[in-house]
Structure 1
Amino acid sequence: MSTLYSSQVAIGKTTVNPSVSLEFYDNADNARGIVLPWVDGVSNTAPFITNSPATETVANGTIVYDKTDKKVKVKYANGWSDLSVDATGTTIDPITSIDGLTLQNALVENPKAKVSIGTPTNTPGILVLEDTNKAMVLPKVSSPHLTIKNPAPGMMAYDTVKNQLAVFNGTVWTFWKP
């Protein structure tokens, strides 16, 4: 049984901006990012996602953490772009020394699992924001490379000091500004 709703989602916030599909807590003491899905390599179709049907096309704008080369990547019409700027990451937690791949590989994935915000379509993905007139606002963090104490590989946040996108590949933060 399932029910479809069209709405906005605010995580950790008390008010909702009607122009936003998904927004995260943005108070001054925010020290958390959003962790991207980990995938086994990238291609233009979805088989790189475990157990995904080979007929699904990866939507432009998809952002993932590629565990094969430990980089954050975004899908454009002409292919994948490396957001880690060629820096090789790691999946080893620096505090516990546990390899995140051990934890990831032990989990059984449900290929049909999906959360859709907006008007549902057949776009493949785990979390799909399907509004055509709204956007996602990333967690806003003051200097995430200093504030987030134990970032996970594939973490993203918006740096409120430098006013730019910050992505973590398991080793280094990379910053993007338009």
Structure 2
Amino acid sequence: MANTKWVVDPTHSEVQFKVKHLMITTVTGYFSSFNVEAETEGEDFSKASNIVFTADVDSISTNNEQRDTHLKSPDFFDAENHKQVRFVANKYEKVSDEEAKLHGDLTIRGTTKPVTVNVEFGGIVVDPYGQTKAGFTVDGKINRKDFGLTWSAATEAGNVVVSDDIKLHAEIQLVKQG
């Protein structure tokens, strides 16, 4: 069976991360420029291969320009020298018809580590324009310090300003090609 190519539908997808600030509230950030590509046998995502996600670090937004500038600086993502965050999957592990674990290598700031994210498969539908689309919700968690994002500060009382754990969340809609 021939491989089927899928590409992201950016107008119906979003990629976000959440981090605790002062350990009492959560700040949400987004990547507004990202790409996802995948190949499947037919429309069977349990046999997916060549799943690649990239996000442009310069597109990071937390709805605060000063904070965004800091995140792009060498203290965090070092956008000038490391333009993209990249995840290359190496195994789609089907847990049930709706759930899977996606294993792969995440590269941030030149450091690559194995990461596993949880995937909820929303299904495949044909939209009103005749395009076949597949939907996914992706959730995971990483430790930012594993990827060289080590900037830290503490309040006078000793509270941590930024947590080490970063929650990842994405709503991804893929469009079947050709």
TM-score by length of 2: 0.24
Whose Rg is larger? 2
Q: Which has the higher strand share?
A: 2
TM-score (norm 1): 0.24
